[in-house]
Structure 1
């Protein structure tokens, strides 16, 4: 029998946060091992646990899973969050990657030396490229694809929260997305994950940035 899911990553959001969100919505309990030193990372490398020398890494069902998209797709497929057929799945993955593209731009901000310019770029692209797509997709349906909760909905919800942290009121021009956000907060598993004391991580701080840079031997902001 497989043991509890274990996440190997920093004590912060990064690419692992979407995995945390999806597991929470699937009501899967998980433990975390936080990377805090270069030695921990080198141990994972020497053990062969990191196939491409990268984290996140998730121990699940007797496997050591790497590559964020692969991990998310595995969880979505296992817990029925991946649509009813191949057409649903490709649309779910398409919309998921759009939300992820946007979130990754925000994730990189703490490592940037030119935050203001990048914030302006993120806000502009959010309003002109990404949010209009989701607004149209939600013009009638309750959920993005197939009338059923999927991983794309979970990632979009996470994305909207991240956007509002940086740009208060950004969803005012996108009422369908804002209504969707409200509906998602009423899902019991999501409501629980939003409560204080859950394993949801806060916005990255200086300690998180310093730890990432030390573990990966990064000497200065690289963006």
Structure 2
């Protein structure tokens, strides 16, 4: 019997948070081994676990997977969250990549130099409200279905809902003009697996605070 996936990363959001969300949505229990020092990262590099010398890394099904997109695509394929054919997968990839463009800005926001944060926050708000959220609202309106692709949950929905939560932490009224996105978030959040993940005490990570930011500097700088 294969063991639980093991996630290797620091104890914060970063590029691993979308992986946590997707595993949780799929109802998959996972373990985490947190990097706390430069030596922890060096150990993974030196034992050959990191193909490109970078985390995140996920041990799953006898593999040590790196590169966030590869990890997410494998999990989505394994747990039937990646569409029914190549056309649906292409749409899921397109929607997911759009999410990733904005999500990376949001995830790295706490780690930016203080002098750059005001401009970065303005950019995040502008792109969310005027580029990305209208695009996804339009998709949902165009087919009047419950989910983005094929009227069934996919990794695109999970990634988008994660993004909605994260943007609202920085811009509480960001969803005010997007009722279909609000409805999607409610729908996905009420799925039993996601609802459990959203409860206090889960492996979902909070907004990276000053302590987390300092920890990442210790590990990666």
TM-score normalised by L of structure 2: 0.96
Q: Deviations over 1:24-45 (max 9, x none)?
A: 0111111100000000100000
Instruction: Measure the CA separation in 1 of the matches of 2:220 and 2:185.
Output: 35
Report how far residue 127 of structure 1 moved. Answer: 1.2
CA RMSD of aligned residues (A): 0.8
Instruction: Measure the CA separation in 2 of the matches of 1:30 and 1:109.
Output: 27
Hey, what does 1:127 align to over in structure 2? 129
1:107-126 map, 5 Å: 107-113=107-113, 114-126=116-128
Aligned pairs, number: 217
Hey, what does 1:33 align to over in structure 2? 33
Instruction: Measure the CA separation in 1 of the matches of 2:70 and 2:171.
Output: 30
Hey, what does 2:157 align to over in structure 1? 153
- For structure 2, which runs of at least 5 residues remain unmatched after alignment? none
Instruction: Measure the CA separation in 2 of the matches of 1:79 and 1:4.
Output: 14
TM-score normalised by L of structure 1: 0.96
Hey, what does 1:53 align to over in structure 2? 53
Instruction: Measure the CA separation in 1 of the matches of 2:95 and 2:138.
Output: 12
SS of 2:159's equivalent in the other structure is helix
Hey, what does 2:178 align to over in structure 1? 174
- For structure 1, which runs of at least 5 residues remain unmatched after alignment? 218-223
1:14-29 map, 5 Å: 14-29=14-29
Report how far residue 4 of structure 1 moved. Answer: 1.5
Report how far residue 109 of structure 1 moved. Answer: 1.0
User: Could you list the runs of 4 or more consecutive aligned residues of structure 1 that deviate by over 4 angstroms after TM superposition?
Assistant: none
Instruction: Measure the CA separation in 2 of the matches of 1:55 and 1:200.
Output: 18
SS of 2:8's equivalent in the other structure is strand
Hey, what does 2:205 align to over in structure 1? 201
Instruction: Measure the CA separation in 1 of the matches of 2:97 and 2:140.
Output: 17
